[in-house]
Amino acid sequence: MDARPDELIDLGEVTLRRFGADDLDAVYQAVTDSLGHLIPWLPWAAGYTRQSAAEFLAQSGRGWTSGTVYDYAIIVGGMLAGSISLMARVEPGGLEIGYWVHPAWTRRGLASAATGTGTGVVWRLVRVA
């Protein structure tokens, strides 16, 4: 039995979808549009390039396969509005959560929806992972 979380999670107006190689342009555009918003909080955003986006997507695929990272695109209205990740880099059996939201999509409850506030989505993922 595969204990990995679902690759697609429909939350109504918000969808969490596993990243794929075809997300390169959307990831690069969303991150570069958000640099001023991201750099103070997320060191990986400094110096972000198209190659950075390609490396993220490759690492995301490897992480999913190995069961160490589950990266999701936060999709709203067909647009990439941010990212949420569950990462096995804390104590054994624990998962750290990380996320960011494009500044055009902030203050709309997307982070709360994506992290499972009130819905149990993250807890469902953690139990599965």
d(CA 115, CA 43): 21
Higher pLDDT, 94 or 76: 76
The 10s digit of each residue's pLDDT in 6-49 is 899 888 888 899 999 999 999 999 999 999 999 999 999 999 99
The correct CATH number of 8-128 out of 3.40.50.300, 3.30.2230.10, 3.30.70.270, 3.40.630.30 is: 3.40.630.30
E-only strand ranges, the chain: 8-10, 14-18, 69-76, 79-87, 96-101
pTM: 0.84
Q: How far apart are CA 4 and CA 120, in angstroms?
A: 16
